[in-house]
């Protein structure tokens, strides 16, 4: 009992990895090239957002990125490398809220940028904290905290996403903008091998769906493209035979509940490829 209690306290203390689930904006044909398929040697690409965009959990981090945990295995970096873009501005940072994206990640956005990807919103509604509570404090506390996050998704997030998407368009008026959603962390069937109860798992998946809906609505209202990765991650959630999500443990305190390298490569990258064009 003492060991289990210590594990829970330790996990609650350290496992506050903001799961950044922010929108990746894709510009409408009226504002951007019909494909991000300007030749790679001409394309300027900026990747903005939270830990999903930076690649926390995928390893191979840039030494200079510090707590932002920008990974060479993150889907924006993989896409930029494959298409040999003229300039890649990798500004995404673990823990970023929509206000952080707007205030600290857009310095290099201008009319010359032709593609922008964004993932943001999860940190604004305390999704990471909800995961921590669900992992360490039991079902009742979990459901209550997820309910609070759901209220924030419905009441405060739409305005914050609208402000972010408006700023992206103002800063990069010619860009094609791709906004990403978040995957389900748990399979539809109850996952008995996780510290989160089955009801908690269902509540978290439901909150992710609502987060994606609000993100999609804002992106489309601004003429951006929304990239939904829920289907891609189906069959690769926690407790699946081939998980693309990192399970919580004392060895994954900084990266739990984030996509691993395979999730970035096989889940997020194809979605970016589909919405951004070939880049050549």
User: Is there a catalytic annotation at residue 71?
Assistant: no
Distances (CA, A) of 41 to 3, 38, 87, 220: 56, 8, 8, 29
Share of the chain above pLDDT 70, in %: 84
Q: How far apart are CA 216 and CA 104, in angstroms?
A: 23
Question: Which residue is listed with tokens 């289907």?
Answer: 231
Q: Which residues does residue 71 pair with via DSSP β-bridges, in sequence order?
A: 61
- Here the tokens at position 35 are 């494909």
Check if the beta carbon of residue 102 is closer than 8 Å to that of residue 96: no
What pLDDT is stored for residue 42 in this prediction? 79
Share of the chain above pLDDT 90, in %: 78
Query: Is the pLDDT reported for residue 4 higher than 50?
Result: no
Question: For residue 277, what pLDDT band results from cuts at 50, 70 and 90?
Answer: low
User: Is there a catalytic annotation at residue 41?
Assistant: no
What pLDDT is stored for residue 17 in this prediction? 43
Question: Which residue is listed with tokens 């010359």?
Answer: 112
Closest residue by Cα to residue 217 from 121, 138, 139, 135: 121
Instruction: Please measure the distance between the N-terminal and C-terminal CA atoms of the chain and give it in whole angstroms.
Output: 59
Task: Give the chain's domain count.
Answer: 1
What pLDDT is stored for residue 56 in this prediction? 98
Per-residue pLDDT tens digits for 16-44: 444 443 333 333 333 444 444 444 557 99
pLDDT average, residue stretch 183-198: 87
Catalytic annotation, pick one of 75, 184, 222, 258: 258
Per-residue pLDDT tens digits for 82-107: 999 999 999 999 999 999 999 999 99
Provide the whole-model pTM.
Answer: 0.85
Q: How far apart are CA 268 and CA 273, in angstroms?
A: 9
Q: Domain residues for 90? A: 2-276
Per-residue pLDDT tens digits for 121-144: 999 999 999 999 999 999 999 999
Check if the beta carbon of residue 267 is closer than 8 Å to that of residue 236: yes
Question: For the packed helices 127-136 and 2-14, what is the interaxial angle rounded to 10 degrees?
Answer: 180
Q: What is the CATH number of the domain that holds 70?
A: 3.40.50.1110
Catalytic annotation, pick one of 51, 69, 94, 117: 51
Check if the beta carbon of residue 57 is closer than 8 Å to that of residue 260: yes
What pLDDT is stored for residue 40 in this prediction? 53
Question: For residue 242, what pLDDT band results from cuts at 50, 70 and 90?
Answer: very high
Q: Which residues does residue 87 pair with via DSSP β-bridges, in sequence order?
A: 44
């Amino acid at each position: 009992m003492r060991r289990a209690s210590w594990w829970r306290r330790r996990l609650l203390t350290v496992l506050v990895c903001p799961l950044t689930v922010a929108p990746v904006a894709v510009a409408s044909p009226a504002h951007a090239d019909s494909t991000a398929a300007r030749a790679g040697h001409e394309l300027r690409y900026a990747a903005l957002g939270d830990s999903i965009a930076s690649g926390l959990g995928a390893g191979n981090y840039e030494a200079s990125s510090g707590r932002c945990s920008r990974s060479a295995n993150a889907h924006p970096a993989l896409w930029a490398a494959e298409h040999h873009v003229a300039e890649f501005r990798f500004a995404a940072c673990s823990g970023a809220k929509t206000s952080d994206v707007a205030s600290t990640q857009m310095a290099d956005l201008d009319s010359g940028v032709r593609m922008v990807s964004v993932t943001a919103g999860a940190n604004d509604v305390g999704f990471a904290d909800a995961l921590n509570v669900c992992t360490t404090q039991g079902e009742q506390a979990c459901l209550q905290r997820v309910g609070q996050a759901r209220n924030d998704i419905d009441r405060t997030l739409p305005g914050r996403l609208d402000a972010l998407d408006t700023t992206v368009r103002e800063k990069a008026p010619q860009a094609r903008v791709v906004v990403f959603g978040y995957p389900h962390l748990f399979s539809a069937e109850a996952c008995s091998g996780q510290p989160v109860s089955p009801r908690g798992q269902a509540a978290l998946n439901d909150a992710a769906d609502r987060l994606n809906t609000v993100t999609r609505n804002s992106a489309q209202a601004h003429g951006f493209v929304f990239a939904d990765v829920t289907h891609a991650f189906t069959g690769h959630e926690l407790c699946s035979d081939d998980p693309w999500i990192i399970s919580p443990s004392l060895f994954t305190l900084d990266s739990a509940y984030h996509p691993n390298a395979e999730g970035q490569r096989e889940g997020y990258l194809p979605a970016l490829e589909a919405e951004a064009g070939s880049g050549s």
